[in-house]
Amino acid sequence: MKQLLRAHPLPVLGGLLALAFVLFMLSGIPALKDAQHGWYLVLGDICWFGFLLSALAFVVCGGYTMARRARHPRSAL
């Protein structure tokens, strides 16, 4: 993933952001959000914790990309 992030940072960050958005929207469906047991609860929890993990990955990858660009600025040619 590090090589992919170095080569194409915007598509990787965009994909992580899109994944986080979709999982966040899925976790907000009332049938999944208000479930007390069963498959709806499991699916709602997977969506919610998937959102949290993808948002964390977005923040970490974004910080890595900004730090790398600050360390190795490109020339303006």
State how far Cα 34 lies from the chain centre: 24
Segment (H or E) for 39? helix 39-71
**What is the structure's pLDDT at 75?**
56
For the segment 64-73, the average pLDDT, to the nearest whole number, is: 84
* pLDDT per position as a tens digit, 24-67: 999 888 887 788 888 888 998 899 999 999 999 999 999 998 88
Give the pair of three-digit tokens for residue 38: 């069963």
Q: Name, in order, each residue with C-beta under 8 angstroms of 64's C-beta and a sequence gap of 6 or more.
A: 5
Mean pLDDT of 7-31: 91
pLDDT at position 77, please? 47
Average pLDDT over residues 7-14: 88
DSSP 8-state class, residue 17: H
pTM, entire model: 0.81
For residue 44, what pLDDT is reported?
87
